[in-house]
Amino acid sequence: MVQTDILIIGAGPTGLFTVFEAGLLKLKCHIIDALPQAGGQCSELYPKKPIYDIPGFPEVLAGDLVSNLMQQIAPFQPGFTLGERADSIEKLEDGTFIVTTNKGTKHQAPVVAIAGGLGSFEPRKPILDNLSKFEDNGVAYMIKDPEVYRDKKVLIAGGGDSALDWSIFLADIAKEVTLVHRRNEFRGALDSVEKVQELKDKGKINLITPAEVVGLEGKDALEAVIVRKNNNPKEDQKIIVDNFIPLFGLSPKLGPIAKWGLEIEKNAIKVDNTLDYQTNIPGIYAIGDVNTYPGKLKLILCGFHEATLMCQSAYQRIFPDKKYVMKYTTVGGVTGFDGSKK
Ligand code: FAD
């Protein structure tokens, strides 16, 4: 069981900055995210887009903002459970919470901060009869660790950047890479499309278009997929594979959190913005894009502000008898927040 002071659900910019603000108060944090990497929308949706409204940064790429946040929180050594979705919550008699993920990992904390943004990004799945039988048994919707595919026969389906980039990457690792897309044209970056074509010409990627996966075969684990070319059953071919990875994009859903007994309005969690962004359940806070209150703006800097106030309240909750006196992170340029000489 993972134990921490503040359990943060969501590793977007809001969740990451919470670790910093909590760290200043000497509170430990652990973050759960359904995605295999930190950064939320910034990493998943627009890593190369410049952002112009982060105070002090006239311009910063979303991906660089996430790297900077990771660097900023590193001294506080947060724990991470990545690639797992927070599914259920239970309140114990001592007032602490236990949050369990879809993979069964349990986390205990006196304070839970939901920084779930638009919700957990759920993969768009192909419609195939026996798909669920092979999930985690040959079928995966995101690549957490490419090494898993070393010397394996892999079939990727999709036409966007993820499908192209992973096909290129795995061409050097896997034994065989097949890329299937239902159109001849791809939606991804031109450079990636050209690279895939080059690798096809070198015999390192087996490219099949226009085509779709229409069947999965295997006794216990996945053994083969049926690929239909030109929408014509006469052109069906059976491809022996170890892994099938449909990369059809991710769509955000508030998902299981919506059933935690929290007050929800228009797919967002209602909070007390006059005080500390606490929800209707004491000890559970909601910060960043996931919350709603009069005048709410879904902006990164608003999430940072909410995280800061929320941590002050969390401190009072965890240490009701201690009086915390807010100090600046640097005083007179002498000492850094982590105790280092500045
Ligand atoms: P998110 O970034 O959405 O992160 C939430 C994380 O929580 C996700 O990683 C998700 O997987 C995870 N999660 C949710 N539910 C669960 C669960 N049950 N279990 C585990 N994990 C879960 N804002 C600006 O300020 N300036 C801009 O220029 C700007 N440009 C934008 C451009 C685009 C194209 C988009 C889409 C948004 C833009 N935004 C911008 C908005 C900004 O990205 C959001 O305000 C910000 O990402 C919110 O951060 P967050 O940490 O609250 O949530």
Mean pLDDT computed over 81-110:
96
Residue nearest to atom 18 of ligand 1 (CA): 86
Contact in structure between 32 and 114 (CB atoms under 8 Å): no
Lowest pLDDT segment from 21-30, 112-121, 193-202:
112-121
What pLDDT shows up at residue 339?
44
How close is the Cα of 65 to the center of ligand 1, in Å?
13
Which of 41, 102, 121, 144 has the most ligand 1 atoms within 8 A of CB, as the residue to mutate? 41
**% of the chain with per-residue pLDDT over 90:** 81
Residue 324 CB less than 6 A away from ligand 1? no
Place of tokens 């508030």: 254
How close is the Cα of 289 to the center of ligand 1, in Å?
6
Q: Which residue has the higher pLDDT, 15 or 124?
A: 15
Binding-site positions: 14, 33, 41, 46, 86, 121, 289, 330
Take residue 105 and report the two structure tokens written for it: 């990992």
Contact in structure between 60 and 51 (CB atoms under 8 Å): yes
Residue 13 CB less than 6 A away from ligand 1? yes
* Cα–Cα separations (whole angstroms), residue 297 to 93, 289, 293, 301: 36, 8, 9, 9
The pLDDT confidence band at residue 334, using thresholds 50, 70 and 90, is: very low
Q: What is the pTM of this model?
A: 0.76
Question: 3-state DSSP call for residue 62?
Answer: helix
Q: Is the ipTM of this complex over 0.90?
A: yes
Q: In sequence order, what E strands does 218-310 have?
A: 224-229, 237-240, 243-246, 250-253, 264-265, 268-270, 284-286, 291-292
What pLDDT shows up at residue 118?
86
How many C-beta neighbours within 10 Å does residue 6 have? 27
Contact in structure between 256 and 271 (CB atoms under 8 Å): no
Note the pLDDT tens digit of each residue in 261-271: 999 998 899 99
Note the pLDDT tens digit of each residue in 114-162: 999 988 777 899 999 999 999 989 999 887 778 999 999 999 999 998 8
